[in-house]
Structure 1
Amino acid sequence: MSRHGVSEPCAANGGPRARDVPAPRLDFLLAAYRMLGQSLSLQRSARAAVRLPVPALAEAAALVLVSGPQWAHWWTTDGRAAAHGPERMPVRSADVPPADLPGWIRAALAVADGPWVRPVRCGRWVLPDGTEHDGHGVLVRLPCDHLCQGVLVLLRCADGPAFDDADRTLAAQYAEPVGRAVTAALLYRDQVRVADTLRAALRPAPLPSVTGLDLATAYRPAREAMHMSGDIVHVEPLADGGVLCIVGDVCGKGVDAAVAGGRLRQSLSILCRVTGQPLDILAVLNDASVDTSSAAATQFTTVVVGSVRATPGGGALLRLAAGGHLPPLVVRGTGEVEAVHIGGMMLGADRPGRFAEAVVWLAPGEACVLYTDGVTEARGPTGTMFGPDRLAALLTEYATAPAAVVAERIEQRVVDWLSGAHHDDIAILVVRAQPAVPPRGGAR
């Protein structure tokens, strides 16, 4: 059964006013607004919220938040360690199912009639950490109902002075900065979760393992793009044992470009179940990119789509279709680097699209490198671009290296060239035909 009395109206809806609050209490409230406004961390804000009122307003304090049907969050502290100062006062906290909260606190949380201050009569009260407090105090409903239900518990010892009208008014005023800090922290936490989920969904998927092929990628979003890139690099396995790959560059940076790139990757995953022909796939992607109702809504993208199949005798056959993208680079066994100029128009430029195709044969150990302009157009501190010649020289240097080494060396060499300067999104895909394995027991 609930052991608290009739609700009383909250005395404050904003910050403290000097003419209404005695000087010591005004100092306490100003310190609360200052300290509770320093962090967007829920843990830091909650710890500060239970430390600040001890011992100025209470001997023990607890903050309880319920943000959903599954979990409640609580923090408690008391005055036994107050000699160490509020910054070092121990705070206990945990996440528990709401049903595990003490019944008298659950009853208070169930009252949904806006902010209020309720007295807690003298008795032994179980706190969320399982300890008991022998005393009395007040319960204050926090003004953050749209994000969670929350109460602040302020308790004094049994022989301590009762909470009078001025104390209850101060408790209500203190709940304002606590509620604001909790609301800001919860909003920030939810935004971070959304951003992290979006980033995870938009990052390249793990590469499939394909017999006869050695595949590797490198992916580095622009520094100013919130770790989300408009560059596309994706490899999708085909039913016949080959793979369908896409490397592209969506116009723009950041969230909008990353979302558009994510749609193209998802489309490729679906289309590869219908056709393995790169030209057909480009045509469908182009139709999906053009918005005839608004030129601003059309998403322009340069792209290369390729089907790659290892051949029975070793080596690999690539069929590459391009739409306005940089030419793929083929690294021959001799170290020679050949640019495959395909042409075609970028996605979204017109309907129907006009695209081109090229077929490339890789002997065992040879590689094809697809990349975005973040590689060749990377500018160092002097403004000089990394350029295609330096990229070709690097590929010659690592002509016989595994695909993962090639991709890593390209990325690292470009980063070194930038020397900390801002850069565009970078995406690299290396497709290498596995070298022929010499037969066992061959001639000596």
Structure 2
Amino acid sequence: MSRDDGGRTGPPVEWQRALHLLWRAATAEVQDVTGVAEHVYDFLLPLPGVGTVVGARWDDRGPLYLRRGRAARDGVVTWLPSDDGWPGGQTCPDTVAADAVPAVRLVDLGAAAPVDPPLAGPSLRGSGAAWAVECVFPLAPGDSAALWLGLDRRPADEEAAALQERLTQVAEILRAGNERILEIRAHEKRQVRDAFLAEASLQMDASLDARETLHRVSRLAVPAVAEGCVVHLFGEDGRLAPVATAHVAASAQSWLTSTARDDPWMKAVLSRGAEDREGIVLRGDDLTGGPFGTPAGPGGPVQALSVSPLRARGRVLGTLTFLYESADAGVRDLRMLSDLAGRAALAIDTTTLYEQRRRHVQMLQRHLLPRALPEVEGLELSAAYHVGDPSLDVGGDFYDVVVCGETVSLVIGDVCGRGAEAAAATALARHTLRTLLEDGVAPAAALARLNRALTGEGASRFVTALVIRLVPADGGWDAEIAGAGHPWPYVRRADGEVAETPARGLLLGVVPDARYEPARFRLAEGDTLVLFTDGLTEARSQDGTQFEEHAAAAVGALAASGKTAAEELVAAAAQFRDRGDDDTAVLTAKAKAKGTK
């Protein structure tokens, strides 16, 4: 554009082209509609009669800026709002309704009435304008803007109408550009939010330990969401108690925990948040009377606080509280907070249920095994049990030692599968054998009786078992063995030699009339009898080798004391194992001189 000697622009730029350039700048080139200001001044200042362009923007929190561009091309002057309001003491007007159309009018700046418009009056009159065309328009909910064209004379009606139309067109472009920018920001925010929630879910689901999950929730949120975070859970007494705390200032964590636990104001807020389905957000005066935002707390001044209920599977487990020390718009995203709280609640509920299940499984498993091994003169007994399945279903491995007078019977067995049905079969097998052996029934006969009981009930689980009855003899014990599809035991002689002891027989619970034949051998003083389930020998190394190839050597390397033999074998298999998740039970008996236990 060229200029004449008076500093005015020459022939005006063709308006449609100007609008196109402004549209491109507003919708494609800037990340904030404020950045279009210089373009706006360039397009509006060349209009006939226009000497000054003033622009303003404000939201529901107050003024954002007031700018002036002059036709003398001396640049754009920017005034920053002060604590007392706009430059010159003007007050910020109310925001315009989001669905309002641009409001345009012609204003006489020299009228006797109070300065009108209040925002731009000083700037317009200071630049020599006598009249102005005003356009006030919404940019978004709670976000408004205005443009004024300063004129040195009253325009003719036709000229005024043209200026108002063009100013309205500019306002519509700015509004559309701002909508596009907000959409882009919202999309980017959704992407960031979704990525954060996805990562949060992965982190929270990475552990089945309840305490670790709770701490992961709080650590993930600080400082990604807020400066402070507290997780509360309802206890058995129905009261909320803090279980995890995180703060950007490490020194503030203990203070935050005690405050969240003991402060009456905080307790009332948490109760409200737990009852509100969407959660609550407190700002400004809502925080009055609370423990935050005062010099007394180690943390910074809190500008906002949010409480979201931890709701999972139809019940409220507790609350998720965030403390915001800056006026971050993120606190307004209640959907994200609700989504995060929902995911956290589900992870917490899952780990809590897992912990409960683990305790129940451990309790049931203890009832399927003897509480303690008996003290037997002339025998050194040891037992160990390793749970291999991380799902924590009850396993089917069992062992027992039954004393009947001077006779000692060693029992070990394995029910196929896991879970409640396997546990029921395990209980039946162990307690049936114990009852029979306490009544003096021989090993082979006891297995036959158990087999008939299992097949008679139509059991769907087969069982392997091994029974060895030991009777005191000079220099050791006479042993009678009967097996039902179970791995053969090892005998480690006093000199370190290791050999398997055969015990052939069909699985229990398959063939009703199966017969079991006993075999006999001698267990001398210093010899060790080793009974085990297949979880020991089927443990696999990384290259696929089974521990079965190393089991005999591991038995031969047992320490002199028989009290730790079972634990030593289980530990050796665990160190060897890279694959294989079957449970392992080991029962050992070392023959000792009479008079010793």
Report the equivalent of 2:412: 247
Report the equivalent of 1:36: 200
Question: Are positions 1:187 and 2:350 aligned together?
Answer: yes
1:255-334 map, 5 Å: 259=423, 262-263=426-427, 267=431, 271=435, 275-277=439-441, 278-279=443-444, 281-290=446-455, 298-308=460-470, 310=472, 315-332=476-493
Report the equivalent of 1:8: none
Q: 1:298 deviation in Å?
A: 1.4
The answer to whether the 8 A contact 1:232-1:261 is kept is: no
Question: 1:124 aligns to what SS in structure 2?
Answer: coil
Structure 1 spans left out of the alignment, 5+ residues: 1-17, 82-87, 439-444
Alignment partners' CA distance in 2, 1:385 and 1:365 = 29
Q: 1:403 deviation in Å?
A: 2.8
The answer to whether the 8 A contact 2:310-2:344 is kept is: no
Question: 1:370 aligns to what SS in structure 2?
Answer: strand
Alignment partners' CA distance in 1, 2:199 and 2:543 = 45
Question: Are positions 1:403 and 2:567 aligned together?
Answer: no
Report the equivalent of 2:318: 150
Q: 1:187 deviation in Å?
A: 0.8
Alignment partners' CA distance in 2, 1:318 and 1:144 = 61
Q: 1:299 deviation in Å?
A: 1.1
Cα deviation, 1:219-274, whole Å, max 9, x if unaligned, reads 5566x76587956352335364654432223335x657974675357535863696
The answer to whether the 8 A contact 2:396-2:423 is kept is: no
Distance 1:208 1:144, change over 3 A: same
Which of 403, 406, 418 is 1:238 aligned to?
403
Alignment partners' CA distance in 2, 1:279 and 1:372 = 19
Give the alignment's TM-score, normalised by structure 1. 0.65
Cα deviation, 1:376-395, whole Å, max 9, x if unaligned, reads 6677788777768x766776
The answer to whether the 8 A contact 1:315-1:362 is kept is: yes
Report the equivalent of 2:376: 210
Q: Which of 196-205 and 32-41 deviates more?
A: 196-205
Cα deviation, 1:71-121, whole Å, max 9, x if unaligned, reads 634255667x4xxxxxx795447699989875413642673x633436572
Cα deviation, 1:148-205, whole Å, max 9, x if unaligned, reads 3433445668xx97x9xx8775235322223212322331343255246525753765
Question: Are positions 1:72 and 2:240 aligned together?
Answer: yes
1:128-207 map, 5 Å: 137=304, 139-142=306-309, 144-145=311-312, 146-153=314-321, 169-195=332-358, 197-198=360-361, 201-202=364-365, 206-207=372-373
Alignment partners' CA distance in 1, 2:513 and 2:571 = 39
Instruction: State the one-letter code of the partner of 1:403.
Output: G
Instruction: State the one-letter code of the partner of 1:369.
Output: V
Q: 1:289 deviation in Å?
A: 3.5
The answer to whether the 8 A contact 2:218-2:229 is kept is: no
Question: 1:355 aligns to what SS in structure 2?
Answer: coil
State the identity as a percent.
Answer: 23
Report the equivalent of 1:433: 591
Cα deviation, 1:311-335, whole Å, max 9, x if unaligned, reads 6x66334443322334444455576
Question: Are positions 1:366 and 2:536 aligned together?
Answer: no
Q: 1:25 deviation in Å?
A: 5.7
1:358-397 map, 5 Å: 358-373=519-534
Higher helix share: 2
Give the alignment's TM-score, normalised by structure 2. 0.51
Alignment partners' CA distance in 2, 1:215 and 1:246 = 12
Alignment partners' CA distance in 1, 2:363 and 2:226 = 42
The answer to whether the 8 A contact 1:71-1:95 is kept is: no
Report the equivalent of 2:147: none
Distance 1:20 1:351, change over 3 A: farther
Aligned length: 393
Question: Are positions 1:49 and 2:221 aligned together?
Answer: yes
Which of 282, 288, 292 is 1:123 aligned to?
288
Distance 1:273 1:126, change over 3 A: farther
Question: 1:207 aligns to what SS in structure 2?
Answer: coil
Alignment partners' CA distance in 2, 1:94 and 1:284 = 62
Q: 1:54 deviation in Å?
A: 2.7
Instruction: State the one-letter code of the partner of 1:429.
Output: L
Which of 482, 485, 510 is 1:349 aligned to?
510
Alignment partners' CA distance in 2, 1:286 and 1:247 = 15
Distance 1:149 1:404, change over 3 A: closer
Which of 265, 268, 276 is 1:104 aligned to?
268
Distance 1:257 1:435, change over 3 A: farther
Alignment partners' CA distance in 1, 2:333 and 2:407 = 71
Distance 1:298 1:411, change over 3 A: same
Q: Flag the structure with more relative contact order, 1 or 2, with Cα contacts below 8 A and sequence separation at least 6.
A: 1
Alignment partners' CA distance in 1, 2:202 and 2:258 = 23
Alignment partners' CA distance in 1, 2:594 and 2:565 = 19
Structure 2 spans left out of the alignment, 5+ residues: 1-181, 205-212
The answer to whether the 8 A contact 1:370-1:428 is kept is: yes
Question: 1:125 aligns to what SS in structure 2?
Answer: coil
The answer to whether the 8 A contact 2:278-2:338 is kept is: no
The answer to whether the 8 A contact 2:464-2:486 is kept is: yes
Alignment partners' CA distance in 1, 2:233 and 2:548 = 56
The answer to whether the 8 A contact 2:234-2:317 is kept is: yes
